[in-house]
Amino acid sequence: MSKKSKIKDLMVLLADPDIYHVYSDSGDGFRHEYTIGIRETDSGTMYSMNYSDTGEWSEEMRGVNVFHILNTGSGFRWVDTLPDLNLEYDQMYQLQVFLRFIQDIEASGKYTTKVLKVEEVSSYKF
């Protein structure tokens, strides 16, 4: 079974996707790098991240899927896009962007995380 048919079988569409654009700035202005879609399916919430259709990418890469992950209601399941365990720097960036986005959407403001650097053990407060 092809990758496209697996995803098509999984995604019995219940709603149009919500679309989000990921912009980043490396010092020369913000550029649209990725597009993330959220779609409710009969199996759960499907998150998909694609390369943008802009000149940031070569013709072959524009619009190509990077990741698909499904929130089944009892956990998350990668769909045909399981990331390698050994990541290049750009792949790590893509994974961070995708997972942070999902965390923000799923948490709906219920949870916040703050990472603090401990300068002295005595200054750390619980």
Instruction: Report whether pLDDT(1) > 90.
Output: no
87: nearest Cα among 69, 66, 59, 115: 66
Question: What does the pLDDT read at residue 14?
Answer: 44
Average pLDDT of the segment spanning 105-122: 68
User: Measured between alpha carbons, how far is residue 26 from residues 18, 23, 29 in Å?
Assistant: 27, 10, 7
In a 3-state reduction of DSSP, which class is residue 5? helix
Spatial contact of 83 and 69, defined as CB atoms under 8 Å apart: no
Which 8-state DSSP code applies to residue 13?
Answer: B
User: Measured between alpha carbons, how far is residue 31 from residues 26, 75, 83, 90, 101 in Å?
Assistant: 9, 32, 24, 16, 17
Question: What does the pLDDT read at residue 38?
Answer: 93
45: nearest Cα among 19, 11, 20, 22: 11
pTM of the full structure: 0.72
Give start and end residues of each alpha helix (H) in the chain. Answer: 3-10, 89-107
Give per-residue pLDDT as tens, 38-79: 999 889 999 999 999 888 889 999 999 999 999 999 999 999
CA angle 108, 112, 114 (to 5 degrees): 155
52: nearest Cα among 62, 43, 60: 62
Q: Where are the domains of the chain?
A: 3-123
